[in-house]
A and B are shown apart, each in its own frame.
Chain A
Amino acid sequence: MQSAAMLSFDAIALDTLAALDEEALDTLPFGVVGLSSEGNVEVYNATEAKLAGLPRDTVVGTHYFSVTAQCMNNFMVAQRLEDEAEIDATIDYVLTLRMRPTPVRLRLLKARRMERRFILIDR
């Protein structure tokens, strides 16, 4: 069992995240979105589903930046995930969760050794 500190928004490592099963991901207190290299949603945890107001099964399989998160489809988020080979960056951002402007922190995670990339959302 991992310690709570290791599973925090700021500390959790990409490999830890990738190893967690669906149930464990759902217990995390922040949003987790995992994307394929084409940008399709593969992981969408319970916290994120609750924040966005969208059940997991309606989001998984869709193209994240065109269907659900147009406001991240820019040079600050989508373009960075596309262009940079390795990222572990935390940025201040504002999302429109359930159409409310909501200040959040985003953590972008991507590594050469792994196809899947992650966006963590802490509000």
Chain B
Amino acid sequence: MATDIETENTALLQFLYACPAGLVEFSAAGVIGMINPAAMGLLLPMAGRPFVANLFDVFEGCAPELRNMVQQFAAPQGTICEGHRIITGRGARSSVLACSVSKLTEDRYVATLSDVTEQVARERRLKQAETWFASLLDGIDDVAVLSIDATGCIDAAMPSATRQTGFAETELVGRCFAAFDRPDRASATLQPGEAIAVARRDGWHLHEGWHALADGGRYWCQRLIALRHPSDGVAQGFAMILRAVTRQHRDAADLRRMLTRDHLTGASNRAHFFETAERQILRSLRDGTPLALVLLDVDLFKRVNDEHGHAAGDAVLREVARRCEAGLRPEDLFARLGGEEFVALMPEASLSAASVVAERLRASLAAQQMEAGGIPLRITASFGCSALGGGITSLADLLAAADGALYVAKRTGRDRVVASDPGQAAA
């Protein structure tokens, strides 16, 4: 006969076995103490091998910031993150996890994990609608209204538009609305015609970005382009509504940096890379322009961590990112894919041009020792290059081809650049 305590113990275990959210208890070093089946179910496919003992190791590939966040959290206890988004896998196979971490003591942490992939896709669309409703509720005064025709030309501007932008009506009318966009590297860039095409398809398009002012300056605004319902069923004009966002520009820039940058190195993060790269590849395929990708992996990095500690490893990664960014053009997208692996996406670059750049980056790493916490270290990296064409038509193809070349670079002695063989691209 089971005692009351045994019965309760069983009930507790069953509760944890059946819990649909993942629960993990771990130490400051990431060593997993307790974990429920839902969490193991999420971590096993990421680990890629049937042993999961350290949470930071599992996340090293896709969310290396987690270790930094835990280690940099100074308070004796409290919430380290809530619903932190982690993108696992690559391209079509990727999924999104939401992760919350609480610190209980100096050496005891609890994390919850859940798969929110579908939710994220729904949210993106909902957020746009929400932004728009918020703008309606927040007062009509700072809203500028313009009318644009089917081709995207401004054909009328209300007094509210001249008041908000400072432009006279004659300076606005007749010009393409996009001519007043002032995008920068950190803000999302749209393809030409994308806003109009989406508005025609869905009835509306929302965008947030910099807009020109008559005095040469710019202001941050939300822009809604809405299809005007044609009374005769033919007219295809749009209403464009600009809403100045009054919050401090610095805050907005910080927020965007946080969402697009890797916590440790300041390079683009995975989420931003995949989003921007997909867009860039579509553009190159459409325009028939070249596009290359360079994958690089720091050689023997595990040894740096093991022999000199994670702080030295972090310093090395920051310096690698700094030297690489310095050797790339502003239009190249440089991102940390995870762990000690970085990627550069190079628009308008051929395979041979990318190999030349990669060789320059390789030399800039190898030429001079790196200071990691007072210890000079000689750090090298191996490079794999690939480019669109010859059967390579997607981000997944580009990454796979560069991965193959990188593998050859590692196997043939490291500290070298290998370009993928375009003839073997499809293999």
Contact = CB atoms under 8 A, between A and B. Distances in A.
Contact of B35 (A53, A66, A93, A101): A101
Interface string A41-80: 0000000000011110010000000111111111010000
Interface in B19-52: 20, 32-41, 44-45, 50-52
Nearest to A93: B50
B52 A94 contact: yes
Interface in B239-269: none
B34 A99 contact: yes
B17 interface: yes
A100 B50 contact: no
A106 to B, nearest CB: 9
A95 interface: yes
Contacts of A72: 37, 41
B13 A94 contact: no
A91 B50 CA distance: 9
Contact of A54 (B13, B20, B34, B39): B13
A8 interface: no
Contact of A73 (B10, B13, B34, B41): B41
Where chain A touches its partner, the secondary structure class is mixed
A98 interface: yes
B17 A101 contact: no
Nearest to A103: B51
Contact of A55 (B2, B37, B38): B2
Contacts of B17: 52, 54, 67-70, 96
A92 interface: yes
Contacts of B51: 92, 94, 103
Contact of B40 (A67, A91, A92, A96): A96
Interface centre among B16, B18, B37, B53 (most CB of A within 10 A): B37
B9 interface: yes
B72 interface: no
B14 interface: yes
A68 B18 contact: yes
A89 to B, nearest CB: 13
B10 A71 contact: no
A98 B34 CA distance: 8
B36 A52 contact: no
A66 B34 CA distance: 20
Contacts of B2: 55
Contacts, number: 76
Nearest to B9: A53
Given A53-B9, A74-B45, A94 B14 contact: no
Nearest to B33: A100
Contact of B52 (A52, A67, A101): A101
A58 B50 contact: no
Contacts of B53: 101
A71 B37 contact: yes
A91 B49 CA distance: 11
Contacts of A100: 33-35
Interface string B367-389: 00000000000000000000000
B44 A54 contact: no
Contacts of A92: 50-51
A55 B8 CA distance: 12
7 contacts: A71-B38, A71-B40, A72-B37, A73-B41, A94-B51, A96-B36, A98-B13
Contacts of B38: 70-71
Contacts of A54: 10, 13-14, 17
A103 B34 contact: no
Contact of B10 (A53, A70, A101, A103): A53
B7 to A, nearest CB: 9
Contacts of B39: 96
B25 to A, nearest CB: 8
Q: Which 3 pairs from chain A and chain B are nearest by CB?
A: A71-B37, A71-B40, A70-B37
A74 B95 CA distance: 15
Contact of A94 (B18, B20, B36, B40): B40
B14 A70 contact: no
Given A53-B9, A53-B10, A54-B14, A70 B41 contact: yes
Contacts of B52: 94, 101
A76 B14 CA distance: 23
Given A94-B50, A103-B51, A76 B44 contact: yes
Interface string A79-121: 0000000000001111110111101000000000000000000
B378 to A, nearest CB: 37
B16 A99 contact: yes
Contacts of A66: 18
B54 to A, nearest CB: 10
A118 B410 CA distance: 43
Contacts of B37: 68-72, 95-96
B89 to A, nearest CB: 13
